[in-house]
């Protein structure tokens, strides 16, 4: 493991994030990996559940990483509410949508970054660190 990657992982342990994803397999992989890295995180299956988690843990969450397309409440709807209620949050969109309309709408809500699926986990870790440190 490179020194910069180890440093990124160590930085990751300094904060907590909320991961919002409706694809159970992907959610399980991320959760398992973050547990192995001893990272603090919370999970939600859709935007509505994410807002409920934020209501309980808003002072503990630093970064929200969310999918766009989810049942009940999509990621963009959740972000629109979350940025008003919790302006301190950093937000990363994680999606397979490449259409510019999603990026434009996300940017209008103050989203910090946009990660395309499928993604490399090392890039994911580095992106989270970049987002928190900037």
Strand extents, DSSP E, the chain: 16-20, 40-44, 63-66, 90-95, 113-116
Domain count, the chain: 1
| Structure letter (DSSP) for residue 119 | -
Angle at 51 between CA 77 and CA 38, to 5 degrees: 115
CATH number at residue 107: 3.40.50.2300
Q: Could you report the per-residue pLDDT of 66-119, keeping only the tens digit for each? A: 999 999 999 999 999 999 999 999 999 998 888 888 888 999 999 998 888 888
**What is the domain extent for residue 120?**
3-133
Q: Model pTM? A: 0.89
Q: Lay out the sheet containing 90-95: strands in order across.
A: 40-44, 16-20, 63-66, 90-95, 113-116
């Amino acid at each position: 493991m490179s020194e910069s990657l180890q440093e990124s992982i160590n930085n990751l342990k300094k904060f907590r994030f909320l991961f919002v994803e409706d694809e159970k397999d992907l959610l399980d992989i991320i959760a398992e990996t973050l547990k192995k890295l001893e990272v603090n995180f919370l999970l939600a299956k859709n935007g509505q559940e994410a807002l409920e988690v934020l209501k309980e843990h808003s002072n503990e969450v630093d970064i929200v990483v969310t999918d766009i397309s989810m049942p009940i409440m999509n990621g963009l709807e959740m972000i629109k509410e979350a940025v008003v209620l919790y302006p301190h949050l950093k937000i990363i969109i994680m999606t397979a949508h490449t259409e510019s309309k999603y990026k434009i709408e996300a940017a209008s809500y103050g989203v910090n970054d946009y990660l395309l699926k499928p993604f490399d986990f090392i890039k994911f870790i580095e992106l989270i660190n970049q987002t928190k440190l900037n």
